[in-house]
Amino acid sequence: MRNKILQGDTLKVLKKLPDAFIDMGVTSPPYNKKINTNGSIFRSIKYDNAQDDLPEDEYQQNQIDVLDELYRTIKPGGSFFYNHKVRHLKGIATFPLEWLVKSKWHIRQEIIWDKHTCTEFKGYRFHQKDERIYWLYKPIGGKVIGVKLEGKHAVCSSIWSFTPDKDNPHPAPFPVILPLRCILSFMGDRKGLIIDPYMGSGTTGISCKLLGHDYIGIDISSNYIKSSIDRISNFEDHIDVLKQELLLHVVKNSYKDRQKKKERELKKKTVINSFFS
């Protein structure tokens, strides 16, 4: 199954996979954007081979079931990064946290993705230019606090700022930097197997190849799978994204540096005070 994209409905495919063999995952599922209804502000998405208009309670239950299957197939100590957004259904803000708390995962962090751009300008609310990325964690033996990020990755902070991908014909891709940052930060120097259960145009596969990991993907559209395979085989086209990203994963001022700076400031103050006393 390594470096393969499986075709089919995500939940059905996941149910056939073994327990605890994947290191981590990252995805952006279909958002259930529906056709525009009164007070609903988002642009609907037309996928090649999938509807995006389930009744909301069915959609949320499907996402909980998918997340719980991912929990089963990912190893203890593993993580899943889930990209979604706050949607407004008939005027009411609907938060991904509403269903995430009902899944088996421990929610470790909510990351804000500042996209620099928004698609809706009607003024029912402030222009929405953010999406969310939820870091979900599967503890080892009940130890919920679990693994730490290395300092050089933690400096990326909980607000991520980059634009969506404009050069991708898929209707709803995320940019390579998004899965790349999740995988680079969580996996560090380890190599492993990464899943994207809604693979779309293969962006997570590209990030895996850039970082030297194996991937496993799922998508319902054979056309998207074909274009994913093509994009992933040309992963080196995206090497500049990796180069730029690595420059951000650097601790500029370590704790020791900050302590030394404080000591120097204190010394200066003592010299000045002793002059005036």
Ligand X SMILES: C[S@@+](CC[C@H](N)C(=O)[O-])C[C@H]1O[C@@H](n2cnc3c(N)ncnc32)[C@H](O)[C@@H]1O
Q: What is the binding site for ligand X (CB under 6 A)?
A: 9-10, 28, 30, 47, 50, 170, 172-174, 198, 200-201, 203, 218-221, 224
Q: What is the rounded distance in angstroms from the CA atom of residue 111 to the CA atom of residue 102?
A: 19
Residues near 151 by beta carbon (within 8 Å), at least 6 away in sequence: 251, 254
- Closest approach, Cβ 143 to ligand X, in A, equals 31
Of residues 187 and 199, the one with the C-beta less far from ligand X: 199
Of residues 155 and 229, the one with the C-beta less far from ligand X: 229
- Closest approach, Cβ 140 to ligand X, in A, equals 28
Of residues 138 and 170, the one with the C-beta less far from ligand X: 170
Q: What is the rounded distance in angstroms from the CA atom of residue 95 to the CA atom of residue 87?
A: 7
Write out 211-267 in H/E/C secondary structure.
HCCEEEEEECCHHHHHHHHHHHHCHHHHHHHHHHHHHHCCCCCCHHHHHHHHHHHHH
Of residues 41 and 172, the one with the C-beta less far from ligand X: 172
- Closest approach, Cβ 200 to ligand X, in A, equals 2
Q: What is the rounded distance in angstroms from the CA atom of residue 112 to the CA atom of residue 131?
A: 6
Sheet with strand 74-84: strands edge to edge: 4-7, 214-219, 193-196, 22-27, 74-84, 130-137, 106-114, 159-161
Report yes or no: 211 and 184 within 8 Å, Cβ to Cβ: yes
Q: Give residue number: closest CB to ligand X.
A: 200
Of residues 74 and 225, the one with the C-beta less far from ligand X: 225
Which one, of 3, 6, 11, lies nearest residue 29 by Cα?
11
- Closest approach, Cβ 58 to ligand X, in A, equals 12
Sign for the CA dihedral angle at 224, 229, 235, 237 comes to negative
Of residues 234 and 259, the one with the C-beta less far from ligand X: 234
Which one, of 120, 90, 113, lies nearest residue 163 by Cα?
113
Of residues 53 and 257, the one with the C-beta less far from ligand X: 53
The token duo for 251 is: 């601790």
- Closest approach, Cβ 161 to ligand X, in A, equals 18
- Closest approach, Cβ 147 to ligand X, in A, equals 25
- Closest approach, Cβ 216 to ligand X, in A, equals 13
